[in-house]
Amino acid sequence: MNPVAAALGAAFALAGSGAIAALPAPARWGPAVVGAATAGVGIAGAAAGGAAVSGTVWQAYLPDLLPLAGVRLAVDPLAGWFLLLVGGVAAVVGVYTIGYLGRDGHGPAARGALAVLPVFVAAMLLVPAAGSVSTFLLAWELMAVTSLLLVLGEHRHSPAVRTAGLWYAAMTQAGFVTVLLGLTRLAAAAGGESFAAIRAAGAGLSPVTAGGVFLLCLAGFASKAGAVPLHPWLPRAHAEAPSHVSALMSAAMVKLGVYGIVRVGFDLLGGGARWWWLLLGALGAVSALYGILQAAVATDLKRLLAFSTSENVGLILLGLAAAGVWAGAGQDGVAGVALAAALLHAANHAGFKTLLFCGAGSVLRSTGTRDLDALGGLSRRMPATTALFTVGALCAAALPPGNGFVSEWLLLQALLHQAPQAGTVLTVAAPVAVAVVALTAGVGVATYVKVLGTGFLARPRGDGAATAVESPRSMLVAMGLAAAACAGLAIVPVVAAPALERIAGELRAGPELFAGGGVDLRLAGIGSIVSPLWVAVGVIGLAVGFAAAGRALGRARRRAPAWDCGDGPLTARMEYTATSFAEPLQRVFDDVLAPEQDVDVTPAAESAYIVRAVAYRRRLPDRIEAHLYGPVIAAADAVGRAGRRLANGSVHRYLAYMLAALVAVLVAGVIR
């Protein structure tokens, strides 16, 4: 039996039995049952993905499973890569869920909300495994609905959850409609709905049809991926969902939007015009910059991580755009590097974002707050969580020797390439893209220094942080697994090289991207080398050596009060908070962020020059959301109110409507 088929079958069977077992399970065991089932589904999915990226392909047609179209499954290396990614994330999150929702747990313990979790993971596995338009759309919608149920898990606790659910439901359904329109149009034009049939006919489509299909699919997939300006659901849903769900959505589900773009753009439509990819690049650049700027000034830990997801998706889209442009320009080798950078960054982001959202969940669970301004001092009370979060932050900040650095290095290599006779557009676009990646990386570093420094170091600034306790072991084990995956991807990314080459070859990009064996990442066509292993060994080895030498040769350290300017003991209120840390950046990017500041000075009764109280308020609204979505929502609201006037309860009026409708139909029939 095909290993992919066996593993996928096991995954779906486990998901079903896990969901069914969770419903009658006693409340104490529910989280353990669901967590174990989810982890099992994840492991099975990852096994299927692992087999597929090593070259085992599998196709199946199950005509009796669904009426009309049946179910068609097809797993190739590209699908395998995303199966591996989703499965890996789900395996970690499953283990995490056991402790997060378990005894004295946090978050929803309702049985329904628990039972949905393995089904959601199975739906995410079904999306890349789908081999036809109808199966894909079915899996996509199943994923959207189950994730919506999970986002709404804590709807009884806060109205913000309900708002987030509404935004997510509206945007994900709108995105589904555009994908539906795009893919059905594509299937109609290609004369068949299986991906194989579309692929065969894809190159012969007229440019207008292909461009229209690409735009429609891009709108839906980019909104699922959280690309700006289709992002407003993401910071809300990721922030308000229970943390294990945030981790699954941010690390895995968002990547399936990326998968959709690769599948439709590169595979089904087979490349396409340059403007497609320049548009995608612009989308990626805006997402990366806007996402990281919003993250830099955010003070809600999970909202910050959500905006950072938008940023990373932006970088992935930039990589895809570069791949499309270079492939169109005949530079297959560089196109392959760009594609590999995008796919590797997707995997790296899945690794560190799982770790970071799980860490945020641990913080939320033991302090009860997500507000960075009220945190601090966790490094002493939660040392293991702090250490693991530090690994995640290092990777997310794209600093060597983290895994984010490797994929950003690859992305830069693809963008730094200059082709002769590339044309004016590319001559300007490539350096601008490099500058965007660099500015994003720079602000990203500042952002993660802020998270780590103000959230975990120094002294606690709130009661929750002052009484925090370390998380249960299952949560730490899960985060440890995610950290180990990040470290593996960071130090020996060459293990992913054969899979990336296979995928690139399948998508008609460069045949051979990486040269030679060994631990270094050598690019075949470009001649740049990076050796993450030596960077890691060098930094860690030298640092440990210096520390040991200092301890052996120098005098012992002594603790003393910090310098307080002779003004009595320092209090935690004097520390720099997340808001104050980001203030210079906020000022530099004032024109983009447009903060709303409000200072009220109340003078004393005796004199206007004696100040009694100063109130300072600052809000950083999402400008794109306010300016782009505000008018649309207001217009929809107005139309709805106007529509209500049509139905005033009078039976006569309704009879008149029916008569008018009948006449209209008859007239239309006669005219035809």
Rounded alpha-carbon distances, angstroms, from residue 38 to 48, 477, 528, 626: 15, 15, 41, 38
Q: Provide the minimum distance between the beta carbon of 226 and another protein in the complex, in angstroms, as a whole number.
A: 22
Q: Which is nearer to another protein, 54 or 418 (CB)?
A: 418
Quote the distance between the C-alpha of residue 388 and its chain's center. Answer: 20
Nearer to another protein, 100 or 326 (CB): 326
Our CB check for another protein shows the closer of 215 and 539 to be: 539
Of the two residues 24 and 550, which places its CB atom closer to another protein in the complex?
A: 550
Of 101, 328, 152, 150, the C-alpha closest to 249 is: 150
DSSP codes of every residue in 131-160: -BHHHHHHHHHHHHHHHHHHHGGGTTT-HH
With CA atoms as reference, report the closest residue to 271 among 222, 355, 199, 340: 199
Residues 6+ apart with CB under 8 A from 622: 232, 235, 294
Hey, CA dihedral for 582, 588, 594, 600, is it positive or negative? Answer: positive
For the chain, what is the radius of gyration of the CA atoms?
Answer: 27
- The one-letter code for the residue type at 405 is F
- Residue among 572, 566, 356, 382 nearest 447 (CA): 356
Give the whole-angstrom CA distance, residue 326 versus residue 433. Answer: 14
- Shorter beta-carbon distance to another protein: residue 227 or 337: 337
We find the least distance from the C-beta atom of residue 365 to another protein, in angstroms, to be: 22
Considering the complex, what minimum distance in angstroms separates the CB of residue 283 from another protein?
20
Least Å distance, CB 531 to another protein, is: 3
* Residue 160: CA count within 13 A, CB half-sphere: 9
Looking at the Cβ atoms of 366 and 454, the one nearer to another protein is 454
Least separation in angstroms between residue 560's CB and another protein is 5
Give dist(CA 499, CA 607) in Å, integer: 75
For the bound state, the minimum distance from the C-beta of residue 509 to another protein, rounded and expressed in Å, comes to 19
Q: Look up residue 128 and give its two tokens.
A: 């890349």
Buried b (16+ CB within 10 A) or exposed e, 245-272: bbbbbbbbbbbbbbbbbbbbbbbbbbbb
Residue closer to another protein by CB (options 576, 629) is 576
Q: Measured from the CB atom, is 442 or 603 closer to another protein?
A: 442
Q: How far is the CB of 544 from another protein (least distance, A)?
A: 8
Task: Please report how close the Cβ of residue 415 comes to another protein at its closest, in angstroms.
Answer: 8
Q: How far apart are the first and last CA of the chain?
A: 57
Bridge-partner residues for 530, per DSSP?
521
Whole-number minimum distance, CB 170 to another protein, in Å?
35
Task: Name which of 226 and 525 has its Cβ closer to another protein.
Answer: 525
